[in-house]
Amino acid sequence: MTDISAALGLIQLKKLSKANKARARNARLYHDGLEDCEGIQLPVVPRHCRHVWHQYTIRVLDGQRDGLREHLTAKKIGTGVYYPAGLYDNPVYKGRLGQKGRDFPNTERAVREVLSLPVHPLVRKKDMARIITVIKEFFK
């Protein structure tokens, strides 16, 4: 790490607690606003754990993930599919382990269903309310 990177990292560390609290607030807003929304599965955090919400990733059921993503994009809401393939499809491992997608049906299902929503600390409450409304519109 360079000295400049270290200096920037030290400054960012001072902001970490506040940023994590903002992400947690945003995750709670999603959970409260979307818990009754049929067609998606919300992330679950075990009681004995604390999540920092680097991502807020939902599962969109019944093959509707890409449609929801297009709907959100049309409304100028960014999303991410950060895990578009299983590890066995990574060029580093592909063909070396002898495994195929059919060996991992849960991974294959997740690859088709996961969608990450904006949760970063700069997302405001009114933005969160709009995102929740747009998602619910899609499932009506």
**Cα separation, 44 vs 31, whole angstroms:** 10
Cα–Cα distance, 71 to 47 (Å, whole number): 33
Flag whether 92 is in a domain.
yes
pLDDT in tens, 68-112: 999 999 999 999 999 898 888 888 877 777 776 678 889 889 999
- Number of domains present in the structure of the chain: 1
Q: Domain span at residue 133?
A: 18-139
Instruction: Give 36-43's long-range contacts (Cβ < 8 A, gap of 24+).
Output: 37/135, 37/136, 37/139, 38/139, 39/64, 39/139, 40/135, 40/139, 41/113
43 part of a folded domain: yes
pTM: 0.87
pLDDT one-digit tens code per residue, 111-124: 999 999 999 999 99
Other CB atoms within 10 A of residue 67 CB? 12
CATH of the domain at 88: 3.90.1150.10
- What integer is the mean pLDDT of 2-25? 95
